[in-house]
A = this chain, B = another copy of it.
Amino acid sequence: MNPPDPTGPVNPKLADFLCFAVYSANLAYGRAYKPILEKLGLTYTQYIAIVALWEEDNLTVSALGAKLFLESNTLTPILKKLETAGYLTRRRNPEDERQVRVSLTEAGRRLREKGLNMTLVKQTGLPVEEFSRLQREVSILRDNLIKAADGA
């Protein structure tokens, strides 16, 4: 009755949805990381925030949020927990008291040396070249979706 057109199938299968593949792969990543991270008392999102700060420190909440695609409503509670855990500091910027600057502590930087600077390549079951290619393609997908959402 209708051609198998992925832009609008009459009876779409869940397994054909890229959005579901991404959704479920994200859940799977959280579960794969959990046994490693819970030894350090970190959640998956907290870990991602720490990795972002390894790359560049002393960021405002907004700047960190731009990297993570998150806003202060999500980020602030997470950063407060990481501060309490001793992995980072939150300080008002004296130049502009509206801003809060986030910096890693020594303990936060040390996490990089605790077997935590890994990307679970083995667990993906992918050869390194495919891993890198997939990483780039999913990032492009994300950027296109953000552009489309902003345009709408």
The A interface, classified by DSSP as helix, strand, loop or mixed, is helix
- Residue A107 at the B interface, CB < 8 A? no
Q: Which of A75-83, A85-93, A96-104, A119-127 contacts B (4 or more CB under 8 A)?
A: A119-127
What 9 A-B pairs are tightest by C-beta distance, nearest first? A125-B144, A123-B148, A28-B145, A25-B142, A21-B138, A26-B26, A18-B135, A28-B142, A19-B29
| This chain: copies in complex | 2
A98 to chain B, nearest CB (A): 25
Contact A23 B19 (CB under 8 A): no
- Residues in B with CB closer than 8 Å to A24 are 68-69, 139, 142
Chain A interfacial positions (CB closer than 8 Å to B): 6-29, 31-35, 44, 48, 51-52, 54-55, 67-70, 112, 117-126, 128, 130-132, 134-135, 137-149, 152
Q: Which of B17, B48, B137 contacts A14 (CB 8 A)?
A: B48
Complex Cα gap A15–B119 (Å): 11
Give A113's nearest chain B residue, CB to CB.
Answer: B10
Give A68's nearest chain B residue, CB to CB.
Answer: B24
User: Known: A18-B138, A52-B14, A54-B12. Is A25-B145 also a contact (CB below 8 A)?
Assistant: yes
